[in-house]
Amino acid sequence: MVPTHDHPGEQAASDPIRLLAIRDTPLSVDEIFRAVGDDAAGGTALFVGMVRNHDGGQDVGALGYSCHPSAQDELRRVAEKVVAEFPVRALAAVHRVGDLRVGDLAVVVAVSCPHRAEAFEACRKLIDDLKHEVPIWKHQRFSDGTEEWVGAC
């Protein structure tokens, strides 16, 4: 470990990317929160994305997520960009694939940094870039029988 330039006297985390996954099993907020625990972090920001019961004025009955085989590598690339831009102590991101119901967790990301402002900014960049750059697609099925595909990138 080496001293950081942003916060003299602190030690840089050896590998701040603690957990990255794309899973077909239910997600756990507690698992993600535990993964970003770090004694040198003064702030942790966590974002939880859930399946809602509506979109675009239509009632959502169910949806499914699928991903390209490169999605895990792209998730790592996004995480590495966040780590390079912010003084990240720890980072975790997990996205669900498969069939989900209203209320299920679809994505959970968290970032710990020395200060709260950095944690908020890094977490926002992580979720925004994940949604725009990682090839994960949402297939929504509406209660009126219609459906649509929504590209996340």
- Residue 9 has a pLDDT of 40
pLDDT digits (tens, 9 = 90+) for 91-102: 999 999 999 999
Report the candidate in 136, 8, 139 with the shortest Cα–Cα distance to residue 75.
136
Rounded to an integer, the average pLDDT of 58-62 is 93
For the CA atoms of 33, 153, 124, 84, the dihedral, rounded to the nearest 10 degrees, stands at 90
Q: What is the pTM of this model?
A: 0.89
pLDDT digits (tens, 9 = 90+) for 108-153: 999 999 999 999 999 999 999 999 999 999 999 999 999 999 874 4
